[in-house]
Amino acid sequence: MREYTTQMDAARKGIVTPEIKAVAEKEHMTSEALMKLVAEGKVAICANKNHTCLNPEGVGSMLRTKINVNLGVSRDCKDYDIEMQKVMSAVNMGAEAIMDLSSHGDTQPFRRKLTSECPAMIGTVPVYDSVIHYQRDLATLTARDFVDVIRMHAEDGVDFVTLHCGITRKTIEQIKKHKRKMNIVSRGGSLVFAWMSMTGEENPFYEYYDEILDICEEYDVTISLGDACRPGCLADASDVCQIEELVRLGELTKRAWAHNVQVMVEGPGHVPLDQVAANMKIQQSICMGAPFYVLGPIVTDIAPGYDHITSAIGGAVAAMSGAAFLCYVTPAEHLALPNVDDVKQGIIASKIAAHAADIAKGVPGARDIDDKMAEARQKLDWEAQYACALDPEHAKAIRDSRSPEEDHSDTCSMCGKFCAVRSMNKALAGEYIDIL
Ligand code: SF4
C-alpha cells in the first residue's frame, strides 16, 4: 500500500517515488528540484499505478520536449496487429507517449495490451470510446455513461486522458455568434458539442468534474485538458472562442491541483507563425505554468501531404517558447489514417522540432549529439555520422545509392573532389590537394 495517491501528492509530501527518481536521473536534475516542480504542477509525471511496465517520463517546459504518437483502429482501418507494429516502431524511434484513439470494435483488449507491454506513457480520449463501448447512438448516452468509461480507462492503466471539460452550454452560443470559418475541429470537442446540442444538458465532463477528479486521484491519471475550440485554420487562431475556453481550462487546472491531480493543457491547432510564441505565453500565464501539450501548431493551411513539416515548424517555435509536449502530425493529416511510413515521417519531424527547441532552450546535454556529429563530419567518418543520425538507415541508404568515385570515396557525391572538408583537412595537414 503506497503512502500517496498521485505523483503530485507524493511530491507535496516530500516522498521520492521511483518515478520521480527515474525522471530526475533522465533530466540531469536532483530529485528535490524535480519534486518541487511536480508539487507545483509545472511538471507532470503521467504514471497510472496500474501501468506497471511504464518507463516514466516528465512533461514540463524546463525538461526535454516530449513527443506523442496518435494511433488506434477505426472503422476503415481495423487491424490491431498493424497498430501494434506502429506502436513498437514509434517507441523504438523515441516517442515518449502513445495515444490510443481507437474508435472501432472492442477497444479494451488493445488498451490493456498497451498498458501491459508498452513502456511509453499511454493516453486515451474516453469520449471517443463511449459510443463504441455502449454501442449506442451519442444522444442516448448519459453523463453517468461517460464517467463510467473514464473509470474503465483508469482501471485499465491509462496514464493520461484527454477530457474536453472546457466547453459549456455557453460555448454553443459563442460558436453560433462568432461565426468561425472552421467551427470546432477537435473530434472529441465536436462530440461533446453535439451531445450538448442534442440533449440540452451541460457538458458532463464539466458538470461531473469533481467525480472525475476522484477517479483520476485514485489511479493517478493525469488529465489532459482538451481544447475543443482549438483553431482549425489560421483565420480562427487566437479568437474569442479559443481564449474563452483557455480561461476555463485555467480554472479547471486549479481545481485539479487542489485534488492532487496532475494536469496538462492542450493547445492549438492552426496558428500563424507570428502568433505561436504569444499563444504559449498566454497559456503559461492563464494556466499557471501547467505543461502545455500542442497539436502542431500547423503554421499554414495549404500543405496537405506535408503537414508533418508545417507542424514541425510550429512545434519547434512552440517548444522553444514554452510548450512541453508535441503531438506528432503525419503527412496523412487532413487526408487519411496514417500508414506505417506516415507514422515514421511524423515521428521524425516531431523529434527534429523537439530537439531543435531543446537546444534553443539550453536543456542540459541536448547539444552533445550535434557536437559529436560535427566531429564525425570533420573527420569524414561516415559510420560515426550514422551513429549520431536520427534515422541512420535512411542516411546510409541515401549515401550508398549515390556513392562518390573510388579516388575520393571519403567524400560524398554532393561535391566529390571539391569537398570542402577534404580540401581543408589536406590544406591544414600540408598535403597536396588534387581536384581534377
Ligand atoms: S562532398 Fe560536400 S557535402 Fe559531401 S561531405 Fe564533402 S563538403 Fe560535405
Tell me what the mean pLDDT of segment 36-55 comes to.
98
98: pLDDT strictly greater than 90: yes
Ligand 1 mutation pick, 379, 381, 413, 414, max ligand atoms within 8 A of CB:
414
SS3 state at 121: strand
Cross-strand pairs, 59: 44
Residue 74's pLDDT band (boundaries 50, 70, 90)? confident
Tell me what the mean pLDDT of segment 138-167 comes to.
97
pLDDT on residue 82? 86
- Mind listing the pLDDT tens digit for each residue in 191-245? 999 999 999 999 999 999 999 999 999 999 999 999 999 999 999 999 999 999 9
pLDDT on residue 72? 87
Cell numbers for 109: 483488449
Question: pTM (2 decimals)?
Answer: 0.96
Tell me what the mean pLDDT of segment 62-78 comes to.
90
Tell me what the mean pLDDT of segment 410-425 comes to.
95
- Cα of 311 to ligand 1 centre, how many Å? 29
CA nearest ligand 1 atom 4, residue: 412
- Number of neighbours of residue 278 by Cβ within 10 angstroms: 12
CA atoms of 422 and 415, how far apart (whole Å)? 10
267: pLDDT strictly greater than 90: yes
Q: List all residues 6 or more positions away from 304 whose beta carbon is below 8 Å from its beta carbon.
A: 333, 334, 335
- Cα of 375 to ligand 1 centre, how many Å? 14
Looking at per-residue pLDDT, the higher value among 272 and 105 belongs to: 272
318: pLDDT strictly greater than 90: yes
CA nearest ligand 1 atom 3, residue: 414
| Mean pLDDT score across all residues of the chain | 96
382-420 core/surface letters (b: 16 or more CB in 10 A; e: else): beebbebeebeeeeeeeeeeeebeeebeebbeeeeeebe
Per the CB < 8 A criterion, the answer to whether 287 and 246 are in contact is: yes
- Mind listing the pLDDT tens digit for each residue in 51-69? 999 999 999 999 999 999 9
Whole-number percent of the chain with pLDDT over 90: 90
Whole-number percent of the chain with pLDDT over 70: 100
* Residues with a CB atom less than 6 Å from ligand 1: 411-412, 414-415, 419-421
Cell numbers for 146: 461517460
Cross-strand pairs, 292: 265
Ligand 1 mutation pick, 415, 422, 435, max ligand atoms within 8 A of CB:
415
CA atoms of 407 and 392, how far apart (whole Å)? 25
